[in-house]
Amino acid sequence: MLFGVRTEGQLGGRNEMATAFQLFQNTYITPKQDAIEQILNELVGLKDKVTFIPIEPVMPEFSEATLATILTKDEMREIIGRKPLEVSQQAEVVQSKFSKDDQELAVFMEFGEPASNYTEVKKIKQVFSVDDMDNQSQMFALTTTEKGIIDILKNNDKATADDIAKLLKVKVKKIEDIMTNMMDKDYLDDNLKLTPKGAETKVPDFSELYVKYKYALRFDTEGPPILPNGRTRPFCKGMIEANRLYTREEINKIGEKLGAIYDITNYDAFSRRGGWYTIPETEIHSPSCRHIWLQTLVKKK
C-alpha cells in the first residue's frame, strides 16, 4: 500500500497508510539515516551535529471543528503554512473569543439590584455544590447571626430556638449552640431571655429578610475574584464589579432571554454562570468558571 500497490481484496485507508509509513520509517529509513548522519558528522566536523528532520506522514483526517478544539491558533496557522500571530494579534483573538460576553453581561445588568441596597445577614451556601456545604457555610459571620437572634428576641421575647431558626434559615441545633454561647457572653440569661446587656445592644431590624443570589468566587478557588493581567474573562469581571443581587425568578428570566437570543431551548443561567474555565498552566477544563452563584440572606437597608 505504501508504494501504491494494495493487497488484493483490501480496501485500505488513511490509518493503514500512516501505520505502514511508521513501520517503514522504523525498520528501514531510521537505521540508514543514523548511519549517514554518523558518516557526515565524522567528515564535516561541525560544532553542531547534522541530523535528519523527519517529515510528517499522512495523518488521520479530522474535521475542522475537531481541530479547533484540540489545537491552538498558531498550530492551526502552521498547518496552513502561515506564520504565528504577533502578540498584539493574539490579544485581538482572545478579545474576539469573548465577543458575546458584552451581550450576556448587558442582559444580566437588566435584572437584579445593587448589593449596596442590602445588609448581608448570612452567606447560606454555594448553589449546586456538595450536599454538606451547609457545614462549610457555618464559618461565616457568627456575630451577625447573634445580632439577628437579639433583634428577634427584642420583638418577641417568647421566641424559641425553633422559631429563630426558621426566621434566620439556620438549623435549630446551630441556633441552640449560638444561644448557649451568648449566655456565656452575658447576652442571654439561663431562660434564653435578653439580659440588660443584650437588651441594650443596638442591632439592625431583621424583621424583613430575603434570599438573594450574588455572583461570587467559589469557596474552593484560590486568588482574588478578578485575576490580574486580563486572566478573568470580561463577563466574570463585569459581574463581580457590578456587585448585584438577584432573585431566583430574575435568574430564570435571564435564562429565558439569553435562550431566545441564542436560540437555545431551556437555557439555564443558573448552571451556566460564567461558562468554561481552564486551570492556569494546564490543559484541564472545567464546565464552570472560578465563580458561582452564592445564596445569601439579606435585609433591605
pLDDT digits (tens, 9 = 90+) for 53-110: 776 655 555 555 555 556 666 666 676 667 776 544 444 444 434 446 788 889 999 9
In this prediction, residues 4-21 reach a mean pLDDT of 59
Would the CA dihedral through 14, 74, 102, 284 be positive or negative?
positive
DSSP state of 111: S
Tens of pLDDT, residues 128-144: 432 333 333 333 334 67
Query: Does the pLDDT at position 295 exceed 80?
Result: yes
Cell 441552640 sits on residue: 176
Residue 259's alpha-carbon distances to 107, 233, 252, 262, 268, in angstroms, are 11, 21, 10, 5, 8
If one compares 16 and 130, the residue with the highest pLDDT of the two is 16
Tens of pLDDT, residues 165-206: 988 888 899 899 999 988 988 899 999 999 998 888 877 665
H or E stretch covering 253? helix 248-262
Tens of pLDDT, residues 138-162: 333 346 788 889 989 998 989 999 9
| SS3 label, residue 168 | helix
Burial 92-104 (b: 16+ CB within 10 A, else e): eeeeeeeeebeeb
Tens of pLDDT, residues 196-240: 988 888 776 655 678 889 999 888 788 899 988 888 888 889 999
pLDDT at 13: 54
In this prediction, residues 27-46 reach a mean pLDDT of 78
Query: Does the pLDDT at position 260 exceed 80?
Result: yes
pLDDT at 193: 92
H or E stretch covering 210? strand 209-217
Report the candidate in 240, 275, 270 with the shortest Cα–Cα distance to residue 254: 270
pLDDT at 58: 54
pLDDT at 188: 92
Tens of pLDDT, residues 241-250: 999 999 988 9
User: Any residues with CB less than 8 A from the CB of 82 and at least 6 apart, and which?
Assistant: none
pLDDT at 110: 94
